[in-house]
Structure 1
């Protein structure tokens, strides 16, 4: 049996605020953008090194193209979401 003191200690159940979910979603997109940006930079450096040393860089360049296109798509989707600082005032 739960005492009344235990009930007061428990956090009240909150309804999910749709705006809060959208802000969390925007933050998730920011993480993905950072991840893709890092790998785009790594692939760019690798492609340049392969080209300068005279080795085949086609695979690296195609990988770079794929990452850049994914980054471009994520950035377009991210623009539709609110910024991280946007909060609904009650």
Structure 2
């Protein structure tokens, strides 16, 4: 048993891996809400409802998503991948 990398059969991620995984979670969260807000915006456009606020919210979510993807790309590659 590796004393430094495993404890009780569970892998303890390093800080680099954890930060990358946190970015992935945030990107997924923002991507989900981008799809939801896009759907609401399209629905309001088609039904004649007020869509400007929704469109501005969609722009904000898309900009945040773009920024998070750019930040995620600057992180080093994960080191904890399984070797085959």
Rg larger in 1 or in 2?
A: 1
TM-align CA RMSD: 2.2
**2:61 is matched with which residue?**
67
Runs of 4+ residues deviating >4 angstroms: none
Determine the C-alpha separation between the residues in 2 that align with 1:67 and 1:26.
20
Which of 51, 60, 63 is matched with 1:57 structurally? 51
**1:9 is matched with which residue?**
none
Which of 69, 83, 87 is matched with 2:80 structurally? 87
Q: How many residues align?
A: 72
Offset at residue 20 of structure 1 (A): 1.6
How does the TM-score come out when normalised to structure 1? 0.72
Structure 1, residues 54-78: CA drift from partner, whole Å, max 9, x if none?
1110000000000000000000000
Determine the C-alpha separation between the residues in 1 that align with 2:69 and 2:54.
22
SS in 2 for 1:56: coil
Query: Unpaired segments of 5 or more residues in structure 1?
Result: 1-11
